[in-house]
Structure 1
Amino acid sequence: MYCLYAFNGELMCFVHVLLNGLDMAEKGMKVSIVFEGASVALIPELEKKDCPFHKLYMKAKSQGLFDGACKACSVKLQVKEDVEKSGIPLIGEMSGHPAMSDYIEKGYKIITF
């Protein structure tokens, strides 16, 4: 089991999270993606149909790969409402941020981007 924590807010970097998550899932691995830090601001962009990576994002979303988006960062970067509209859960059991320890306790290996 793997949890991909995406911190980087650059779209071209986040594409690699999507590609790796989909590849891992297609190979039978259990994988979850967590939007953290600046990456939460990508959600409104990726939700747009004219975004060049919208289809890739929607494929990952339809496969249930997105575990959630950081609640604290979504508030700070003023995208909380957009994240809520996307249907991606806001998570943050560690002062508003998703705790890696929760995933580790469940047996996940953490990979950060």
Structure 2
Amino acid sequence: MAKAAFIILAAGDTHESMGRVVNAFMGAYEYAEEGGDSAKIIFDGAGTQAAAAFAAKDHKYNDLFEKVRGQVEGACSYCADAYKMTDKIKAVNIPLIDEFKGHPSFKKLIDAGCQVLVF
């Protein structure tokens, strides 16, 4: 069984960064469609802005976000606070991750055998 962690650093607020977020979602969606494999999505850095934006019902790609919502592990607690996104992320029911000094633990992902892909 393949394991992947899609780390989204892109804010999704420009054409280029929106493309990166959509590509991460499509990668995770492919894992879900194939079955038997494991994929996680983690929003980190400026990607915490994308977490709240794409989860909004009126976002252009909300339908794609909803297809992968079950694979969303969460958003970096430290970065959500730094980008003033904590309340917005909580409002759309995305968990905040605080595994290593306020951040997600990449070591934990790698130790679990995840291939880490950064978008």
Find out whether 1:2 has 2:4 as its counterpart: yes
Does structure 1 residue 36 correspond to structure 2 residue 44? yes
Matched, 1:27 2:34: yes
Distance across 2 between alignment mates of 1:67 and 1:48: 17
- Between 5-14 and 73-82, report the one with greater CA deviation: 5-14
> Could you report, residue by residue, the CA deviation over 1:10-29 in whole angstroms, capped at 9, with x for unpaired residues?
22220111111101221122
| SS of residue matched to 1:37 | coil
Counterpart residue number, 2:109: 103
- Contact kept in structure 1, 2:51 and 2:89, CA below 8 Å: yes
Q: TM-score, normalised by structure 1?
A: 0.91
Runs of 4+ in 1 over 4 A off after TM superposition: none
Q: What pairs up with 1:18-97 in 2 under 5 angstroms?
A: 18-28=25-35, 29-61=37-69, 64-97=70-103
Cα distance in 1 for residues equivalent to 2:56 and 2:107: 33
Match of 2:14 in 1: none
User: How far does residue 104 in structure 1 lie from its aligned partner after superposition?
Assistant: 1.3
Q: C-alpha deviations, 1:13-48, integer Å up to 9, x for none?
A: 201111111012211221001111111101222122
* Kept in 1: contact 2:56–2:92 (CA 8 A): no
- In the comparison of the two structures, how many residue pairs are matched? 111
**Which segment is superposed worse, 93-102 or 71-80?**
93-102
- Write the letter of the residue equivalent to 1:79: M
Q: Which runs of 5+ in 1 are unaligned?
A: none
Structure 2: runs of 5+ lacking an equivalent = 12-16
Identity rate of aligned residues, in percent?
A: 25
TM-score of the pair, normalised by structure 2: 0.87
